[in-house]
Amino acid sequence: MEITTVGFDKRDDLNVIVGQSHFIKTVEDLHEACVNVPGLRFGIAFNEASGPRLVRRSGNDPGLVDVAVRNAQAIGAGHVFVIALDGGFPVNILNAIKAVPEVCRIFCATANPLEIVVGETDGGRGVLGVIDGASPLGVETADDEAERKELLRRFGYKL
């Protein structure tokens, strides 16, 4: 097996979800899960693993659909999906995505710099994991904790 990494091509503040699913209906069901969040703009791509083996796509923002398709193609692993989203955060749709019957796993939900670890054999490619952001530089202080809590209040997640 050959193991490589694929850099995820996106702008710095764009949130993405990368996961694995198992059925052609995935793209429609992921679209339905995303469209229910007011103001959320999104693009979805899903790599078929059999039949015509197309990158299936959907979304409500052509630029985000392009980001999802471009990265799904670069990953090149069957049954992988990519969701690029703006105007919301993964936390706004993650439970809905996980509840889609075809979804097997979520590899990441992030706006961080991202690399996909891919294994390749004669049979094809598969996602082994992700490198999501950078390594920690230290342990949070009391000031860091206060800053974290203020950020969550500013985003409306805590009172």
Q: Which domain holds residue 126?
A: 2-155
Residue among 47, 87, 48, 80 nearest 64 (CA): 87
3-state secondary structure of 94: helix
Domain count, the chain: 1
Torsion of CA 24, 127, 94, 47, to 10 degrees: -20
Tens digit of each residue's pLDDT (9 = 90 or more) over 112-147: 999 999 999 999 999 999 999 989 999 999 999 999
pTM summary value? 0.92
Task: Write out the two tokens for 90.
Answer: 């993964």
CATH number at residue 149: 3.40.1520.10
Are 45 and 65 in contact, with CB atoms under 8 Å apart? Answer: yes
d(CA 135, CA 109): 17
Please write the tens of the pLDDT for every residue from 44-90.
Answer: 999 999 999 999 999 999 999 999 999 999 999 999 999 999 999 99
The answer to whether 69 and 41 are in contact (CB under 8 A) is no
Whole-angstrom CA distances from 26 to 34, 71, 157 are 12, 17, 29
